[in-house]
């Protein structure tokens, strides 16, 4: 593979994460305006965004098989057509059913693109470099999550219709579409070169089960925690701005942590540092819940920093449980994480209704403790060390 080709594929991976981050995180900013547009209460409007999450979940799950049937370049180009149709549907229709369908299509497109982006990084980089590259790629999710809400706020403040926000997000896919030209993608399944050696199917091992549980519990714990921090802060007498700032501090620190750890991870064994990060994050979350309001910003900044590398390191270790990174294995762990996203309000909503926001935060803390336990157990069964030795010879 030429260096120019590798750079193009790497940028496609970066932008695939930016696309998903923009679509998921901008929801909270535009929801009120969309509810007004359809003359609906915000609470019922929020349910229609489940179609976006459902699209992401279904596409990541199915793409484990689609990658071996439909070439990656074809998928990305077809995704561009779907993106144009979905944004056009948002702009031209005043129907809630069509809005929901367009959201589902946007979810499908971003899920397919993100699973391809993840797979490309696991294919192009090996060993500890794979972990640091995946981490840097994932930082584009947070970066888009910081940039596009500001873009949305700028447009909405000037009375520009909310659907132009999605047109701006569509520009990320335009960049991906342009990068596919003159770019060679890894061939899989029946499209693989005829002279390539057939790879013996390798059993995943119990380590993949531990990592899948960790991925689900981590995402469910993280989103369950951060979703209820503003309500919890309000209950302690803090105002809405203070609660929002805690969330903003978390994501800012999270992004900085990703950049730092994308360099640091190269020097440590991934399983061991994952145990340390999961343990520290669990303790910091507990301290945040029990802290006085004036100390909470320090704990949430520390929590964002130390938890930033956990999810990508889980995916990296998963990809290293077999000699060659399998798209099905990587997508399986991604799917488990996305199930965590889907379950966020299904799990935490009833807990908050019954026992209040603090109970939801303590549940999230318990989920982080499960992540720590799974990462610790992984140390006894992981295969990443023997595969790292094999690839270095």
18 within a domain of the structure (yes/no): yes
Angle at which helix 163-179 crosses helix 96-124, to 10 degrees, equals: 30
What number is the average pLDDT over the span 279-283?
Answer: 98
Q: Are residues 174 and 251 in the same domain?
A: no
Q: Are residues 60 and 100 in the same domain?
A: yes
245 within a domain of the structure (yes/no): yes
Q: Is residue 119 a contact partner of residue 330, using CB atoms and an 8 Å limit?
A: yes
Tens-place pLDDT, residues 185-231: 887 766 565 555 555 566 788 999 999 999 999 999 998 898 888 88
Q: Are residues 131 and 256 in the same domain?
A: no
Q: Are residues 30 and 93 in the same domain?
A: yes
Last residue of a domain, one of 185, 219, 245: 185
What number is the average pLDDT over the span 33-55?
Answer: 79
Tens-place pLDDT, residues 82-97: 999 999 999 998 889 9
Q: Are residues 57 and 181 in the same domain?
A: yes
Residue-range definition of the domain harbouring residue 220: 206-392
Overall number of domains in the chain: 2
Q: Which residue has the higher pLDDT, 304 or 349?
A: 304
201 within a domain of the structure (yes/no): no
107 within a domain of the structure (yes/no): yes
Tens-place pLDDT, residues 120-132: 888 888 766 777 7
What is the per-residue pLDDT for 393? 36
What is the per-residue pLDDT for 389? 46
Tens-place pLDDT, residues 325-356: 677 888 889 889 988 888 887 888 889 889 98
Tens-place pLDDT, residues 65-78: 888 889 999 999 99
* DSSP code per residue over 324-378: S--HHHHHHHHHHHHHHHHHHHHHHHHHHHHH-HHHHHHHHHHHHHHHHHHHHHH
User: Out of 42-46, 113-117, 228-232, which region has the weakest mean confidence (pLDDT)?
Assistant: 42-46
For the ranges 35-44, 86-95, 142-151, 183-192, the maximum mean pLDDT occurs at 86-95
Last residue of a domain, one of 185, 219, 251: 185
Averaged pLDDT score across all residues of the chain: 86
Q: Are residues 219 and 171 in the same domain?
A: no
290 within a domain of the structure (yes/no): yes
Does the pLDDT of residue 54 top 90, yes or no?
A: no
Place 247 in a pLDDT band, splitting at 50, 70 and 90.
confident
What is the per-residue pLDDT for 265? 83
Q: Is residue 319 a contact partner of residue 130, using CB atoms and an 8 Å limit?
A: yes
Q: Are residues 252 and 290 in the same domain?
A: yes
Place 292 in a pLDDT band, splitting at 50, 70 and 90.
very high
Q: Are residues 283 and 321 in the same domain?
A: yes
Q: Are residues 239 and 175 in the same domain?
A: no
Place 382 in a pLDDT band, splitting at 50, 70 and 90.
confident
Q: Are residues 211 and 175 in the same domain?
A: no
199 within a domain of the structure (yes/no): no
Q: Which two tokens stand for residue 274?
A: 């994952």
Q: How far is CA 256 from CA 151, 227, 260, 263, 357, in A?
A: 21, 21, 6, 12, 27
190 within a domain of the structure (yes/no): no
Q: Which residue has the higher pLDDT, 32 or 255?
A: 255
CATH code (residue 95): 1.20.1250.20
What is the per-residue pLDDT for 143? 83
Q: Are residues 225 and 180 in the same domain?
A: no
What is the per-residue pLDDT for 390? 46
What is the per-residue pLDDT for 192? 61
192 within a domain of the structure (yes/no): no
Q: Which residue has the higher pLDDT, 214 or 245?
A: 214
Q: How far is CA 200 from the centre of its chain?
A: 31
What is the per-residue pLDDT for 221? 96
Q: Are residues 62 and 170 in the same domain?
A: yes
What number is the average pLDDT over the span 26-44?
Answer: 78
- Nearest one of 372, 44, 11, 375 to 209, comparing CA atoms: 375
């Amino acid at each position: 593979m030429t260096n120019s080709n590798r750079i193009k594929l790497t940028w496609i991976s970066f932008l695939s994460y930016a696309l998903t981050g923009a679509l998921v995180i901008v929801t909270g900013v535009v929801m009120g305006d969309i509810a007004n547009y359809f003359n609906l209460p915000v609470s019922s409007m929020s349910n229609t965004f489940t179609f976006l999450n459902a699209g992401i979940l279904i596409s990541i799950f199915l793409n484990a098989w689609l990658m071996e049937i439909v070439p990656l370049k074809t998928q990305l180009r077809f995704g561009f057509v779907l993106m144009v149709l979905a944004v056009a549907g948002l702009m031209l229709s005043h129907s809630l059913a069509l809005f929901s369908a367009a959201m589902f299509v946007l979810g499908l497109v971003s899920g397919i693109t993100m699973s391809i982006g993840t797979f490309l990084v696991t294919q192009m980089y090996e060993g500890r470099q794979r972990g640091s590259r995946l981490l840097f790629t994932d930082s584009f999710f947070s970066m888009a999550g910081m940039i596009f809400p500001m873009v949305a706020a700028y447009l909405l403040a000037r009375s520009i219709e909310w659907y132009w926000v999605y047109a701006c997000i569509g520009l990320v896919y335009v960049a991906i579409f342009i990068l596919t030209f003159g770019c060679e993608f890894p061939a899989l399944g029946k499209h693989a070169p005829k002279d390539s050696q057939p790879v013996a199917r390798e059993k995943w091992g119990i380590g993949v089960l531990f990592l899948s549980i960790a991925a689900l519990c981590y995402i469910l714990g993280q989103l369950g925690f951060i979703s209820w921090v503003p309500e919890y802060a309000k209950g302690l007498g803090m105002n809405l701005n203070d609660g929002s700032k805690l969330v903003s501090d978390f994501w800012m620190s999270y992004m900085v942590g990703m950049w730092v750890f994308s360099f640091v991870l190269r020097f440590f064994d991934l399983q061991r540092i994952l145990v340390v990060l999961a343990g520290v994050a669990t303790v910091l979350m507990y301290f945040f819940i029990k802290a006085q309001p004036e100390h909470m910003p320090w704990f949430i900044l520390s929590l964002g920093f130390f938890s930033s590398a956990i999810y990508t390191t889980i995916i990296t270790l998963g990809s290293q449980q077999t000699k060659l990174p399998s798209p099905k294995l990587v997508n399986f762990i991604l799917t488990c994480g996305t199930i965590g996203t889907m379950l966020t309000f299904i799990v935490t909503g009833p807990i908050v209704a019954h026992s209040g926001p603090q109970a939801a935060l303590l549940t999230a803390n318990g989920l982080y403790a499960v992540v720590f336990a799974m990462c610790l157990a992984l140390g006894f069964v992981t295969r990443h060390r023997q595969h790292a030795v094999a690839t270095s010879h």
